[in-house]
Chains A and B, each alone.
Chain A
Amino acid sequence: MYVSPVREPLISGEKSYSKVTEDIYAPMTGKPGKLWFGGLTLALIALGFGLFSIFITVWDGIGTWGLDRTIGWGWGITNFVWWVGIGHAGTFISAILLLFRQKWRTSINRSAEAMTIFAVMCAGLFPLIHMGRLPLGFFIFPYPNTRDVWVNFNSPLLWDVFAISTYLTVSVLFWYMGLIPDIGTIRDRLVPGIKKKVYSFLSFGWTGSARHWARHESMSLILAGLAAPLVLSVHTIVSFDFATSVIPGWHTTIFPPYFVSGAVFSGFAMVLTLMIITRKAINLEDYITKAHLESMNKIIIATGSIVGIAYITELFIAWYSGVVYEQYAFVNRAFGPYWWAYWIMMTCNVITPQLFWFKKIRRSFAATFVISIFVNIGMWFERFVIIVTSLHRDFLPSSWSMYSPTWVEVGIYIGTFGLFFTLFFLFIRFFPVIAIAEVKSVLKTSTEKFIKKGK
Chain B
Amino acid sequence: MQQTTFVSGYYLDDKDLVEGIKALQDKNIEIADVRTPFPVHGLDKVLKLRRSRLPRAGFIAGAMGTAIGFGFQAWVFTEAWPLNFGGKPYLSVPSFIPVTFELTVLFAAFALVFGFLLSSKLGPGADNVIFDEEVTNDRFQILLEVSNGNSEQLQSELQAVGAEGVQHHDV
Question: Interface of A with B (CB < 8 Å)?
Answer: 16-18, 21, 142, 148-150, 152-154, 156, 158-159, 162-163, 166, 169-170, 173-174, 177, 180-181, 184-185, 187-189, 201-202, 204-219, 222-223, 226-227, 229-230, 233, 237, 240, 437-438, 440-441, 444, 454-455
Contacts and interface: CB of A to CB of B under 8 A. Distances in A.
A188 B35 contact: no
The 8 closest A-B pairs by CB, nearest first: A205-B126, A17-B138, A188-B133, A159-B98, A185-B136, A213-B39, A205-B128, A437-B38
Interface in B119-133: 119-130, 133
B116 A233 contact: no
Given A188-B137, A208-B37, 6 more contacts: A166-B103, A169-B109, A210-B33, A210-B35, A214-B44, A219-B113
A154 B95 contact: yes
B47 interface: yes
A204 B105 CA distance: 24
B29 interface: no
B11 to A, nearest CB: 11
B31 to A, nearest CB: 9
Interface string B15-37: 10000000000000000011111
A170 B106 contact: yes
Interface in B98-115: 98-99, 101-103, 105-106, 108-110, 112-113, 115
A116 B94 CA distance: 29
B160 interface: no
A120 to B, nearest CB: 14
Contacts of B124: 201-202, 204
7 contacts: A163-B98, A166-B106, A181-B38, A219-B112, A226-B108, A229-B105, A237-B98
A189 B117 CA distance: 23
Contacts of A206: 122, 128, 136
A412 to B, nearest CB: 27
A299 B47 CA distance: 39
Contacts of B76: 142, 150, 153
B125 A201 contact: yes
Nearest to A152: B85
A204 B117 contact: yes
B54 interface: yes
Nearest to B32: A209
A102 to B, nearest CB: 17
B43 interface: yes
A454 B12 CA distance: 8
Interface residues of B, number: 69
B92 interface: yes
A185 to B, nearest CB: 4
Nearest to B83: A152
Q: Which of A16, A213, A240, A444 gathers the greatest number of chain B CB atoms within 10 Å?
A: A213
B39 A177 contact: no
Contacts of B120: 209, 211-212, 215-216
Contacts of B36: 208, 210, 213
B104 to A, nearest CB: 8
Contacts of B33: 209-211
Contacts of B81: 148-150
B145 to A, nearest CB: 14
Contact of A222 (B49, B55, B80): B55
Contacts of B102: 159, 162-163, 166, 230, 233
B9 interface: no
B98 A204 contact: no
A180 B92 CA distance: 43
A311 to B, nearest CB: 26
A315 to B, nearest CB: 29
Contacts of B113: 173, 177, 219, 223
B152 interface: no
Contact of A210 (B44, B95, B98, B126): B44
B108 A181 contact: no
A253 B62 CA distance: 29
Contacts of B110: 173
